[in-house]
Structure 1
């Protein structure tokens, strides 16, 4: 049997709309991500379980795992009976790369099972295409870090479509999902079709300075320019009291507060565990809406998707 785990991810990472993504893992060892298991079987089976499996489509052909299997089945022309199990641990519409997690785990599991030996770039492109079948457009800011780990810059270059960036190892990333969803399409539709020259220049300045700060290991400079002028000013309308939350947790000692992907998950960065716990406790009391919501203190997951023991 093959079992693949694919971690949660933060899309945009504040300043990098559609071109930055970071894989994350809770420091307490929780596996925050989806798993896909595959084994040979007498008949085709696709089983789903996990905390969020009931949110998946009832039509099996609309499952992203089924779409991935169908692609590999056609490519290899090997109609092997197969039993697939998707462990859906990631909330859909959370802003934590839920669909990317399922896609990456599925694609890698099938690549092992069918022994197709696709290259990294071929796998990334397939993952992006499958992601696009859900969100309406191909993008890699979740699938790339989910697959390869770390903080990834999406270049879309033919030879080097992604580039891994350095990170600050002492940063603690607090992520908070309130237990409600925001659809990616709604979050995209709220954005303007056109931006002013000033907005574009400022966003370019912020992003380039942020990346420069990563390479020169200037943490304070990176934080000062970790500002989103493209999406956050508009998406805060989808997150109740966002500015109040941001102001409050920064008073507690957090360095920043941004929207993860399309939201409603928020992420914050702290420099020590004491402040991180204060922020975590405040968010649990003031941002979580129901018993499905969660807050985790995380670090950057440098491993990305991997086989796990069964």
Structure 2
């Protein structure tokens, strides 16, 4: 059984994978301005019995009932292997996953669980066992878990979820991710329609090769966006927030996306895109009043089931955090 006096809880926030212009290499952590915890919480407690996992929360029933099939349990096994490799002895723990994030939403749902679990375990050992892994080691573990889930190694959700802010993935295993400057005055409207889109299905619909013109456009847009971020040039940054890699092929998977995108763009949104592999839509706004106006429109026109929601968000610069 768990001992609540010997526990830590870590929250891991939602993220926008790709951010339209950076397929698999850009990710942005977001948080609702009303204080809602949009993400997952994992509590790690000392246990007097065997290791255990309990799943609670609004979206708990969407996860496998068998703990061995839950990614948080897989995180525990990976973390324990890493402890043993580091000469440490794992202790028995009771894990609780509070699944606040919808599965297959395009908000980094699996990344939230993975980051909350691994950061939670690391915080638990730091507090009670006087041992912890460094940030880069934990980040590599989150990447391992994401690769196990999706079949390919990509950090565009786990890096911002863990580190916060806008992250650019770099081809250096000792660095992995660089923090890019963001535009503090901007608001991000996140609209989850309440339907699922499998990440695998969203990847399968993509072509296996791209034209030279698409490759040039992708490189030019991404480079221009990164440069504009560093120069704090908001208009330049969002003028090139165009997805030539995934959105043209994924739009057909997302009911009401195209008309919503067209409407919001016509109404003056800085940019509109698909969050990760969808179906969540993100809309970037200049002001809170504009964001609230668009949020109301999306609630009426983009949501498709009772599970859907819309949040007005800002950038979450903190990432995974102890509660």
Give TM-score, length-normalised by structure 2: 0.93
Is structure 2 residue 313 aligned with structure 1 residue 307? no
1:30 maps to what in 2? 36
**Pairwise CA RMSD:** 1.1
Q: CA deviation at 1:167?
A: 0.5
Matches within 5 A, 1:195-210: 195-210=210-225
Rounded Cα–Cα distance in structure 1 between residues aligned with 2:208 and 2:82: 38
CA shift digits 1:4-48 (9 cap, x unpaired): 000000000010000000000001111111000011122232111
Matches within 5 A, 1:223-238: 223-238=238-253
Q: CA deviation at 1:82?
A: 1.6
2:234 maps to what in 1? 219
| Secondary structure in structure 1 of the residue aligned to 2:27 | strand
| Secondary structure in structure 2 of the residue aligned to 1:153 | strand
Match of 1:86 among 97, 102, 111: 97
Give TM-score, length-normalised by structure 1: 0.97
Is structure 2 residue 158 aligned with structure 1 residue 143? yes
Matches within 5 A, 1:189-200: 189-200=204-215
| Secondary structure in structure 2 of the residue aligned to 1:304 | coil
When the two structures are aligned, how many residues end up with a matched partner?
Answer: 308
Rounded Cα–Cα distance in structure 2 between residues aligned with 1:81 and 1:158: 31
Match of 1:285 among 284, 295, 300: 300
CA shift digits 1:275-299 (9 cap, x unpaired): 1111100100011112110000000
Rounded Cα–Cα distance in structure 1 between residues aligned with 2:116 and 2:149: 16
**5+ unaligned residues in a row in structure 2: which ranges?**
1-6
**5+ unaligned residues in a row in structure 1: which ranges?**
none
Q: CA deviation at 1:67?
A: 0.7
2:276 maps to what in 1? 261
1:154 maps to what in 2? 169
| Secondary structure in structure 2 of the residue aligned to 1:281 | helix
Is contact 1:76-1:114 (8 Å) kept? no
1:111 maps to what in 2? 122
Rounded Cα–Cα distance in structure 1 between residues aligned with 2:229 and 2:83: 42
Is contact 1:12-1:20 (8 Å) kept? yes
Rounded Cα–Cα distance in structure 1 between residues aligned with 2:106 and 2:157: 10
Is structure 2 residue 110 aligned with structure 1 residue 99? yes
